[in-house]
Amino acid sequence: MRPALVRATDGRLVAGVARGLADHLGVDAWVVRLGFVLLALSSGAGLLAYAAFWALVPLAGEPSDAPDRPGAPAAAEADERATRLGPLLALGAIAAGVVLVLQNVGVLGGRGLAIPLVVVGVGVAVLWRVADDAQRSRLRATAAATSGLTAWLRVGAGVGLVVLGAGALLATRGGVRAALDGVVAGLVVVVGVTLVLGPWLAANARDLAAERRERIRSQERAELAAHVHDSVLQTLTLIQRSADDPREVGRLARAEERALRQWLYRPVGADAASFRSALEALAAEVEDTHRAPLDVVVVGDRAVDERLGALLQASREAMVNAAKYASEGGPVSVYAELEPTEAAVFVRDRGPGFDPDAVPGDRLGVRQSIQGRMQRAGGRAEIRSLLGEGTEVRLTMPLEAT
Amino acid sequence: MTDQPEGGGSAVPRVVLVDDHRMFRTGVQAELGDSVEVVGEAADVDQAVTVIAATRPDVVLLDVHLPGGNGAEVIRRVVAAGVDTRFLALSVSDAAEDVIGVIRAGARGYVTKSITGPELADAIRRVADGDAVFSSRLAGFVLDAFSGSSDVPVVDEELDLLTQREREVLRLIARGYAYKEVGKELFISVKTVETHVSAVLRKLQLSNRHELARWASDRRLV
């Protein structure tokens, strides 16, 4: 399939007309460019054709190399800046060529008329190019390719060139005096038009900006609605279905709360390899499997190494154990503290507790496995329990100072 | 506190509920039952300021997020209006920025909305008595924010550092200990625990340790 006829935004020299045509016709851009130049040499038809294409053919909607949006346009932008001199040179060369040819052919009645016309032409080209850039940066949803100031400078230069050209044109008719009058008259007209149309244009621009904001907002709303539908609404449905099972309802609600929190307060640059995230993930897993709420508070953070890995494993066992025995006494409290030379984790449940001197067999196993794990890695585990007041597991691991 | 007997631990605290969810206000009121007297309710910042000024409650139970501003805004305006009352912040947020923000504005405590009815009644009574109420999460935040190694020169030693004892108390609270259990663990009275927590609250509110604000905003997640 042949690509639609649009003006190219990448790899262009002046306005992307030649590149766009070339892509459309499936030939090399330089062939088209040469064609335009040759046509321009025959009484300026190429120039007129180019201007017509510029005015009538829309700018490409999306950059062709769009897959990774953030990177590609930026690269193209840099590319564009690097070759900014190119278009100017091209413009200049074409202008000079055309002036010479027109003069030789004598279409415009001699030297006097040709130069001003070209100046006007260049001014118009500059203005159009500014408009193009503005539209292009909008299409790409990047920060303006050219800063506001540069854009205004270019508009000023364009208008200046047009006025100057027009003045010079007048000067060929009635001398310098008339030319000055002409320039002044031209300026007056420009200022007048600006005053008349300015407010309207500004209002238009504001409307446009408001419309864009509204569009962005509605996109965000759609994203939010999609998220709420996939998560919260699903969970609410599940909760209604399992209304007879309070523990399951609690588990569902807490899991959803956790997911929603994660989504709302998405950590900026949270590191999955950090002790904090690892412990929180383990707690979430225990919460889901054993349907008991866990409150996790972590002070400090650092990357997980071998020792902290062992501490995490021991913490997991302690949390599983606490979750199993934490009855109605409230949530299991998990507190971790990372200091420069030591890490400590405290897991406390409000379950029935036990008499340490009369440890039930299954608890003994857990106890030994937690203590064994900690000791092998060079740490300590201490288990305190009081009948009727719950149990607290204290894990400490010496660390090498960072 | 004007027409209330001072130090009235036995008197039922007069409370204003500020939360934009009517269902939540109703639920809280039902859970608190007779342990408090709810003298007013408000759903947004302006309404809250008006109701608090009109009823002059002992304690304002304040949601951190409100339409037309936030909890901290209510505190600032009520204090500016010269109304003498105490605030207990209540939130689902748990984001450090919100918690530290509302405490710095002048709240005397912070609890999460998952708190049980009796615990909440206890917290309200404590705040009414002029004590501070720290959840385990808030204790964790404070320990984190005031954590020792700081390369910034400490301006006000007394306000910018926690004492060893205060640190121990906070650590136990972060571990899920109730005030009573903290006292037992450290062989001090509940009253002493309360004194330590109040001292920490004061430091939290007055310290101009400028990492505090930055720390809170950097730390977006609980």
What CATH code is carried by the domain that includes residue B168? 1.10.10.10
pLDDT of A159 higher than 50: yes
For residue B15, the model assigns a pLDDT of: 93
**B136 closest CB neighbour out of A266, A270, A297:** A297
Residues A135-164 have a mean pLDDT of 68
Residue B69 inside a domain? The answer is: yes
3-state secondary structure of A246: helix
Residue B1 inside a domain? The answer is: no
Both B26 and B75 in a single domain?
Answer: yes
Q: What is the rounded distance in angstroms from the CA atom of residue B182 to the CA atom of residue A213?
A: 53
Residues A285-310 have a mean pLDDT of 86
Q: What is the rounded distance in angstroms from the CA atom of residue A332 to the CA atom of residue A344?
A: 16
CATH (domain of B20): 3.40.50.2300
Quote the number of domains for chain B.
Answer: 2
Both B44 and B112 in a single domain?
Answer: yes
Given an 8 Å threshold on Cβ–Cβ distance, is A299 in contact with B149? Answer: no
Residue of higher predicted confidence among B74 and A148? B74
The nearest alpha carbon in chain A to B172 belongs to A335
pLDDT of A337 higher than 80: yes
- Contacts B144 to A, Cβ<8 Å: 299-300
Both B203 and B149 in a single domain?
Answer: yes
Given an 8 Å threshold on Cβ–Cβ distance, is A340 in contact with B149? Answer: yes
For residue B143, the model assigns a pLDDT of: 86
**B220 closest CB neighbour out of A268, A298, A330:** A268
Q: What is the rounded distance in angstroms from the CA atom of residue A336 to the CA atom of residue A104?
A: 88
Q: What is the rounded distance in angstroms from the CA atom of residue B17 to the CA atom of residue B124?
A: 11
pLDDT of A331 higher than 70: yes
Residue of higher predicted confidence among B32 and A41? B32
Given an 8 Å threshold on Cβ–Cβ distance, is B144 in contact with A299? Answer: yes
pLDDT of A87 higher than 90: no
Residue B221 inside a domain? The answer is: no
Q: Which residues of chain B have pLDDT under 50?
A: 1-9, 149-153, 220-222
Maximum CA extent, chain A:
118
Residues B20-46 have pLDDT tens digits of 888 888 888 888 888 889 999 998 899
How far off is chain B from A184, nearest CA to CA, in Å?
55
pLDDT of A344 higher than 90: yes
Residue of higher predicted confidence among A309 and A60? A309
Q: Within an 8 Å CB–CB cutoff, is residue A348 touching chain B?
A: yes
The overall average pLDDT reported for chain B is 82
> Can you give the residue range of the structural domain that contains B193?
136-216
How far off is chain A from B27, nearest CA to CA, in Å?
18
Q: What is the rounded distance in angstroms from the CA atom of residue B54 to the CA atom of residue A358?
A: 60
Domains contained in chain A, CATH given:
1-109+125-137 (no CATH), 147-266 (no CATH), 271-398 (3.30.565.10)
> Of B130, B153, B173, which one is at a domain's C-terminal end?
B130
Residue B31 inside a domain? The answer is: yes
Residues A78-88 have a mean pLDDT of 53
Both B96 and B203 in a single domain?
Answer: no
Both B156 and B179 in a single domain?
Answer: yes
Given an 8 Å threshold on Cβ–Cβ distance, is A270 in contact with B136? Answer: no
Q: What is the rounded distance in angstroms from the CA atom of residue B186 to the CA atom of residue B170?
A: 12
Residues A246-287 have pLDDT tens digits of 888 888 888 888 888 777 765 555 556 788 888 988 888 888
**A297 closest CB neighbour out of B116, B140, B147:** B140
Residue of higher predicted confidence among A108 and A305? A305
Both B124 and B152 in a single domain?
Answer: no
Which residues 6+ apart lie within 8 Å of A237 measured at CB? Answer: none
pLDDT of A19 higher than 70: yes
Q: Which residue has the tokens 């008259």?
A: A185
Sign of CA dihedral B77, B80, B86, B89: positive
pTM score: 0.60
ipTM here: 0.79
Residue B2 inside a domain? The answer is: no
Residues A86-115 have a mean pLDDT of 63
Q: Quick one: pLDDT band at residue A82, thresholds 50, 70, 90?
A: very low
- The tokens describing B139, both together, are 């204790």
For residue A396, the model assigns a pLDDT of: 93
For chain B, the residues whose C-beta falls within 8 A of a C-beta of chain A are: 94-95, 116, 136-137, 139-140, 143-144, 147, 149, 171, 174-177, 218, 220-222
Residue B207 inside a domain? The answer is: yes
Mark which residues 322-341 of A lie under 8 Å from B by CB: 330-333, 335, 337, 340
pLDDT of A89 higher than 80: no
Residue A266 vs residues A223, A227, A231, A261, B97: alpha-carbon distances, Å: 15, 14, 16, 8, 14
The overall average pLDDT reported for chain A is 76
Both B19 and B126 in a single domain?
Answer: yes
Residue B54 inside a domain? The answer is: yes
Both B152 and B75 in a single domain?
Answer: no
> Of B82, B97, B130, which one is at a domain's C-terminal end?
B130
Both B155 and B120 in a single domain?
Answer: no
pLDDT of A25 higher than 50: yes
At residue A288, what is the residue type?
A: D
* Nearest by Cα to A343 from A319, A373, A312, A369: A312
Residues A339-359 have a mean pLDDT of 81
> Of B130, B163, B195, which one is at a domain's C-terminal end?
B130
Percent of chain A exceeding pLDDT 90 equals 4
pLDDT of A65 higher than 70: no
Which residues 6+ apart lie within 8 Å of B208 measured at CB? Answer: B155, B156, B159
For B89, the enclosing helix (H) or strand (E) is strand B86-91
- Contacts A348 to B, Cβ<8 Å: 175-177
Both B93 and B56 in a single domain?
Answer: yes
- The tokens describing B207, both together, are 């310290």
What single string gives the DSSP state of each residue in A116-155?
HHHHHHHHHHHHHHHHHHHHHHHHTTSS-SS-HHHHHHHH
For residue A358, the model assigns a pLDDT of: 64
Both B119 and B173 in a single domain?
Answer: no
Q: What is the rounded distance in angstroms from the CA atom of residue A177 to the CA atom of residue A180?
A: 5
For residue B60, the model assigns a pLDDT of: 93
* Nearest by Cα to A292 from A256, A240, A329: A329
**A270 closest CB neighbour out of B94, B140, B221:** B221
For residue B149, the model assigns a pLDDT of: 44
For residue A143, the model assigns a pLDDT of: 46
Residue B114 inside a domain? The answer is: yes
Both B90 and B149 in a single domain?
Answer: no
pLDDT of A230 higher than 70: yes
Confirm if B167 and B143 have CB atoms less than 8 A apart: yes
